[in-house]
Amino acid sequence: MTDQLGQNDKPRPYQMRRRAEAQLETRRRITESAVELHGTLGPSRTSMSAVAAHAGVRRSTLYRHFPMK
């Protein structure tokens, strides 16, 4: 059904294209940072804060993508 302006009153479906790409890129940076730090510092000396800093994200972002170490 259309309204008086001829517009469809059904909401346009939301497709998360650019945002999904950005999320994948962030996840890739975090993963690569963790692998690099594990290789240089070792897993026991790699902190979540160090991974976040190396990836250029906040710790909250890191935990959103990877809730467990």
Domains of the chain, CATH where assigned: 18-65 (1.10.10)
Residue-wise pLDDT tens digits, 13-66:
777 788 889 999 999 999 999 999 999 999 999 999 999 999 999 999 999 999
Record the pTM: 0.74
Q: What angle is formed at CA 63 by the lines to CA 28 and CA 19, rounded to 5 degrees?
A: 50
